[in-house]
Amino acid sequence: MGNGRRVRRMLVGGTVYGWRFGHRHDRVRGYAGCCSTLTLWRAGNRSCLRLLFRPTADRAIADGYFDEGAVVRLSDRKYLNLHEPGSVRALLDEALVRGLFPTTGIVEVDGWPLFDAVKPEGPAP
């Protein structure tokens, strides 16, 4: 198991971005209230984008069954691991294209639409 607080860095078009995976639990709602997070920021800037991945009837997150960091669309079993730089880069690129990255403050958005953009729905592997 990896450390959820580990900060990683990547270079994109001359800009250094930091990122880290996290997982939250809601003690009241149990599994239905838990959430995997991917937090992204530009080096030297306090603003950040937090992508939230909550489980639904057709979406699963790690929480013990899949690899730590896994987010899965169950209908076709498409998978991303939020610890893998390639997965993070794809989500970051899509967030930048959509103009989601904030200039100030912390912005939290649903990560599933970005997942769908980088992993278009198709037949199960």
**DSSP code string of 25-49:** EETTTEEEEEEEEEEEEETT---EE
Question: What distance in Å separates the CA atoms of residue 92 and residue 121, rounded to the nearest whole number?
Answer: 19
Contacts of 26 (CB under 8 A, 6+ apart): 32, 33, 34, 35
pLDDT tens per residue, the chain (125 residues)? 344 467 889 998 899 999 999 887 766 655 556 889 999 999 988 899 999 999 889 998 976 667 788 899 999 989 999 999 999 999 999 999 999 999 899 999 999 999 999 999 876 55
Structure tokens at 76: 């076709």
Assess contact for 35 and 62: CB atoms under 8 A.
no
Question: What distance in Å separates the CA atoms of residue 14 and residue 92, rounded to the nearest whole number?
Answer: 14
Question: What distance in Å separates the CA atoms of residue 79 and residue 104, rounded to the nearest whole number?
Answer: 31
Give the start-to-end residue ranges of the domains of the chain.
8-118
